[in-house]
Amino acid sequence: MAGEMFLYWGSGSIPCWKPMIVLEEKGFGGYKNKLVSFSNKEHKGEDVLKLNPRGQVPTFKDGDIVVNESNAVCDYLESSYKDKGAQLIPSDKAQRARVLQRMHEANNNMQQKLMLDLLYYFFQTKEEDRKEEEIAKKSEAAKEEMNRWEGYLGETKSFLAGNDFTMADVYFFPYLAFAVRMGMDIEKYPNLKAYYEKVCGRPSIKATWPPHWKEEPPKFSPLQGRV
């Protein structure tokens, strides 16, 4: 039986979004939560720090059990409540292998090539210090990554690991949605476009869509014309 669940989270944070999707998929949509403000450094507040000394979110409680780190929260929820809601990691050995492959592939490659290499270059480098040749190199790597996922979806014709929504989609979709928000031309990737539109309509995604994304457009679109 689940204890009282509580989640500290931030709007638009990919690490926070993943366990929020899992909570909805497992049928725990009524959990207590607190939206923290990154700009006000609320993730460094005493209430978070007493549970997570790193001062990071997501920070999650299930009764007296505390789980930090987004992937750990996702794994905990799936393994502890496999009989609840959607089964996000299949029991079939071959299907499970494919889901695990896509999960970690998304977590490693999308995070590195899209976020750390390309988008963080824009976020952390002053405009006057940005080098166009460096941007072009990073953009090309990001395009190659998107084309790889475009190919995967061309094989499955549905979700990332087959006909069912799985943890692979939980790990991947927030990166894709962030890329679209940052100006990626999804029209260039027909399989990704069909996938994006289908997953956007899923109740767990609608329920967890970052609040500030609904209220305000992005301040700039660094991927526009590049990816």
Tens of pLDDT along the chain (227 residues)? 667 999 999 999 999 999 999 999 999 999 999 999 999 999 999 999 999 999 999 999 999 999 999 999 999 999 999 999 999 999 999 999 999 999 999 999 999 999 999 999 999 999 999 999 999 999 999 999 999 999 999 999 999 999 999 999 999 999 999 999 999 999 999 999 999 999 999 999 999 999 999 999 998 899 999 99
> Residue 166: which residues within 8 A CB-CB, separation 6 or more?
88, 89, 90, 99, 102, 159, 160
180: its two tokens = 């679209």
Residue 38: its pLDDT value, please?
Answer: 95
Smallest CA-to-CA distance from 105 within 194, 199, 169 is with: 169
Cα(57)–Cα(9) distance, rounded to whole angstroms? Answer: 5
Count CA within 13 A, CB hemisphere, residue 180.
17
In contact, 139 and 209? CB cutoff 8 Å: no
pLDDT at 3: 79
> Which candidate, 11, 66, 77, places its Cα nearest to that of 43?
11
Domains of the chain (ranges; CATH) run 5-80 (3.40.30.10), 93-210 (1.20.1050.10)
Give this prediction's pTM.
Answer: 0.96
In three-state secondary structure terms, 167 is helix
For residue 1, the model assigns a pLDDT of: 60
Classified as helix, coil or strand, 73 is helix
CA 155 to chain centre: 22
